[in-house]
Structure 1
Amino acid sequence: MSAPQARRPVVLVYSHRPEIRAEIIGAIGRRPAPDVGRIDFLECAGVAELLMAVDGHTADVLVLDGEAQPTGGIGLCRQIHQEAGQDGVPIPPIALVVARAADRWLATWAQADEVLTHPLDPVTTADSIAALLRLRMAVATTR
C-alpha cells in the first residue's frame, strides 16, 4: 500500500469573465515557487460558488477580480473579512486584482492581504501568491 499523497494547495480565482480567470491563472503558474510546490486552481464565476468555497474551507488563497460583475472582488473581500472565520477557522489570505493603481486604497479598505494591478506581471504575481501560500501554511502549522 502506498503512502497517501499530501493535498496540493488550492488557489481560488474569482471573476465573471473566463479570460480574466485564465490571465490570472497564467500569471500565477502551476508552480509559483519551488517551496510551495504545484498548486491546483478552483475557478469561480459567481458569488454563490465563491462563498460556498469559502464556507467549505476549500481554498488556501483567494484571488478576486476587483472589476467582476455584478459583484466586484473588492466588496466581496470586505464581506468575507466581516462574515467568514466566525467558526474559528481563519479565512484564507486574499489577493485583489485591480484595474488601476489608484484603486489600491479600496483594496486596503477591503482588508486585502495583497493587491495586484492589471496588466499582471507573471513574476510579481507568482511571487505574491507564493508568499500568501507560505503565510497560509504557517497559520495551518500553528493550529
Structure 2
Amino acid sequence: MSTAQPDHGQQPEATGPSILLYSDDVDARAQVRLAVGRRLGRGEPDIQWLEVATADAAITATEAGGLDLLILDGEADKVGGMGLGRQLKDEVYRCPPVLLLTGRPQDAWLAHWSHADAVVSRPLDPEQLHDSVVSLVGRQAVAG
C-alpha cells in the first residue's frame, strides 16, 4: 500500500528552451551563453544548453530531437557551422531553426546558402544575439 499523497494543485515545473550550441572553441561557447543570458525573459525558465564541440555530436543530438534552436559557429575548425547547418536542414526531418554565427557581416550570403534562419556576425552584439534567439525560439514554439 502506497503512502504517497497525490499532489493536488501543483503544476509541473516549466522547462526552458533546449538550445544546441556548436563550436569547437570553448571561449566562443562561453561568450554566446553570456550574451544570450540564463533565460529568454524575466520570469521565464532557464535555457537548457547542450554544448557540443564536434559535428558528429551536433548531428546526433539534432537527429535525437527535442531541440528548440541550433546555434552553429560558422568559424569552427574542421566542420564549419555553415556546411553543418546546410547538412542538418537538408537531412533532418523538422530540423529546428538555425542561428549561424559568422566571422564578418560579408559572410551573410554564405549563411543564406547554408539555409540559416538567422545570422549574427562577430563581434557578437549581446542584444542582437539575444533578440535573434528569442525570435527563433518563439517561431519554433508557434510551429510546434
**TM above 0.5:** yes
Instruction: Find the partner of 1:105 among 99, 106, 109.
Output: 109
Gaps of 5+ in 2: 1-6
- Whether the aligned pair in 2 keeps the contact of 1:28 and 1:129 (CA below 8 Å) is yes
Residue 11 in structure 1 maps to residue 15 in structure 2: no
Number of equivalent positions: 136
How far does residue 124 in structure 1 lie from its aligned partner after superposition? Answer: 0.8
- What letter matches 1:135 in structure 2? R
In the other structure, the counterpart of 1:81 is: 89
How far does residue 47 in structure 1 lie from its aligned partner after superposition? Answer: 1.1
In the other structure, the counterpart of 1:132 is: 136
Name the % identity. 37
Q: Alpha-carbon deviations, 1:8-52, whole Å to 9, x = none?
A: 211111000100111111111112334864312110101111011
CA distance in 2, matches of 1:58, 1:51: 13
How far does residue 58 in structure 1 lie from its aligned partner after superposition? Answer: 3.3
SS of the residue corresponding to residue 77 of structure 1 reads helix
CA distance in 2, matches of 1:101, 1:39: 27
Gaps of 5+ in 1: none
Shift in CA distance, 81/35, structure 1 to aligned 2, threshold 3 Å? farther
- What letter matches 2:107 in structure 1? D
In the other structure, the counterpart of 2:118 is: 114
TM-score by length of 2: 0.89
Instruction: Answer with 31-40 or 90-99: which moved more.
Output: 31-40
CA distance in 1, matches of 2:139, 2:40: 14
- Whether the aligned pair in 1 keeps the contact of 2:14 and 2:45 (CA below 8 Å) is no
* Greater relative CO, 1 or 2 (CA 8 Å, sep 6+): 1
Q: Alpha-carbon deviations, 1:78-128, whole Å to 9, x = none?
A: 00111111xxxx211000000011100000011100000011111111011
- Whether the aligned pair in 1 keeps the contact of 2:71 and 2:100 (CA below 8 Å) is yes
Shift in CA distance, 69/58, structure 1 to aligned 2, threshold 3 Å? farther
RMSD value, Cα: 1.4
Shift in CA distance, 59/27, structure 1 to aligned 2, threshold 3 Å? same
SS of the residue corresponding to residue 107 of structure 1 reads helix
Shift in CA distance, 51/122, structure 1 to aligned 2, threshold 3 Å? same
Q: Alpha-carbon deviations, 1:56-97, whole Å to 9, x = none?
A: 113210000001011000000000111111xxxx21100000
